[in-house]
């Protein structure tokens, strides 16, 4: 089974969502994990939009990248978006790729507009990130 580590700064939205979506869609072929350099808490809106897909991350916790530094991975994916964000650095094993997403927790607007930002990231992960993972790991 292939192992993937998703990294972003707080391990609160993007990396948590990527981990859960990957485990749901590719779980028979890969085992996904997530972490951040400044872990905080899992964002309630990330929990909400994943629940719409039948994925429950309500008991997930935000993890520091150091928890995984001595573990082997086939692929390490950084998810930070804009130039203002600094992506976590990974010194451990595994091929590194970057696939940036805007941080939905930084979205402005009405409650519905912010929720839409989370849904957009979730949907792009399904439509764009999963095919990238399949290619990078040579999965059928």
Residue 36 near residue 10 (C-beta atoms within 8 A):
yes
Output the pLDDT for position 18. 98
Q: CATH for 2-136, among 3.40.50.2300, 3.40.190.10, 3.30.70.3340, 1.10.10.60? A: 3.40.50.2300
> pTM higher than 0.85 for the full model?
yes
Residue from 4, 5, 7, 8 carrying the catalytic annotation = 8
pLDDT at position 96 is 87
pLDDT in tens, 95-140: 889 898 999 999 999 999 999 999 999 999 999 999 999 999 999 7
The answer on pLDDT for 22 being more than 50 is: yes
Question: 13 an active-site residue?
Answer: no
Cα-based distances in Å from 77 to 5, 6, 80, 120: 6, 5, 10, 19
pLDDT of residue 11: 94
Residue 80 appears among annotated catalytic residues: yes
> Phi then psi for 77, rounded to 5 degrees?
-115, 120
Closest CA to 135 of 100, 91, 95: 95
According to the model, what pLDDT value does residue 83 have? 40
Q: In the prediction, which pLDDT does 84 show?
A: 43
pLDDT digits (tens, 9 = 90+) for 49-100: 999 999 999 999 999 999 998 899 999 999 986 544 556 666 666 788 989 8
Q: Exactly one of 80, 117, 121, 133 is catalytic; which is it? A: 80
Active-site annotation holder among 53, 55, 87, 137:
87
Q: 6-10, 13-17, 49-53, 111-115: lowest mean pLDDT where?
A: 6-10
**Cα 94 to Cα 1, 6, 32, 72, distances in angstroms:** 14, 12, 13, 7
């Amino acid at each position: 089974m292939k192992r993937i580590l998703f990294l972003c700064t707080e391990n609160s939205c993007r990396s948590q969502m990527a981990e859960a979506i990957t485990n749901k869609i590719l779980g028979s072929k890969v085992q996904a994990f997530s972490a951040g350099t400044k872990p905080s808490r899992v964002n309630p809106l990330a929990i909400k939009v994943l629940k719409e897909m039948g994925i429950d991350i309500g008991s997930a916790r935000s993890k520091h990248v150091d928890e995984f530094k001595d573990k082997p991975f086939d692929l390490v994916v950084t998810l930070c978006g804009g130039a203002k964000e600094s992506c976590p650095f990974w010194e451990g094993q595994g091929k590194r790729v970057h696939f940036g997403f805007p941080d939905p927790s930084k979205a402005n607007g009405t409650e519905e507009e912010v929720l839409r930002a989370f849904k957009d990231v979730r949907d792009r992960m399904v439509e764009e990130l999963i095919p990238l993972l399949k290619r990078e790991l040579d999965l059928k």
